[in-house]
Amino acid sequence: MESFDDLVIQYKPMIHKIMHSLHIYKNQQEFYQTGLIALWEASQTFEERKGAFSNYAYTSIKGKMLSEMTQNNHYKEKNILPPKEDFWEGIEGQDSSLFLEKETIQTYCGGLTEKEATWVMESYINHLSIKEIAESENVTVSAVKQWKLGALRKLKVKVLN
């Protein structure tokens, strides 16, 4: 078997290619080191009678990186701190902009039927889908689609004039 320094030179592109295929864009140096460790371990445990070293190295490096990614994700899930209390207070102050947004959209709803206006408000303010609007209004999905078509047709004429 070659010296480890020769293996590093030879397999450096493979390590980078594996990192790219796994979409590793954070902590690249850390994952490169993980790849080098996996390469060293592969060179120590490789048995020639079982196949080519390049295949074994590739599998070892990719497996080690995937394990590292899994461990990092578990760590982040368990150790991320919730936002401080003043963060939530800042969120509460956003209702005034929503009120202004509602008023602006309601001005465009002049000339629409009540049902068409309902579709506009539920879609753009409450971000509901056609199916969700149909369920909340106890009508069919087809009916809500008709409200949408009517509203869009009237709004288009209103905006273009």
* Per-residue pLDDT band at 100 (split at 50, 70, 90): low
**Whether 53 and 99 share a structural domain:** no
CA-to-CA separations, 87 to 15, 51, 78, in angstroms, rounded:
41, 57, 21
Domain-embedded: residue 85: no
Provide CB contacts within 8 A for 42, sequence distance 6+: 53, 56, 57, 60, 61
Residue 140 structural domain: 94-160
Nearest partner of 7 among 27, 51, 50, 37, judged by Cα: 37
* Band (89; pLDDT cuts 50, 70, 90): low
- Look at the chain and count its residues: 161
Structure tokens at 19: 């990192």
pLDDT tens figures, 10-38: 999 999 999 999 998 888 899 999 999 99
**What is the average pLDDT across 52-56?**
90
Domain presence at residue 35: yes
pTM of the prediction?
0.50
CATH number at residue 55: 1.10.1740
The pLDDT score that the predictor gives to residue 34 is 93
Q: Residue 90 — very low, low, confident or very high, per pLDDT cuts 50/70/90?
A: low
Q: Give the C-alpha separation, 35 to 61, whole Å.
A: 5
Q: Distance between CA 119 and CA 151 in Å, rounded?
A: 8
The pLDDT of residue 77: 79
Environment class of 92 (CB within 10 Å of its CB; exposed 0-12, middle 13-18, buried 19+): exposed
% of the chain beyond a pLDDT of 90: 37
Decide if 38 contacts 61 (C-beta within 8 A).
yes
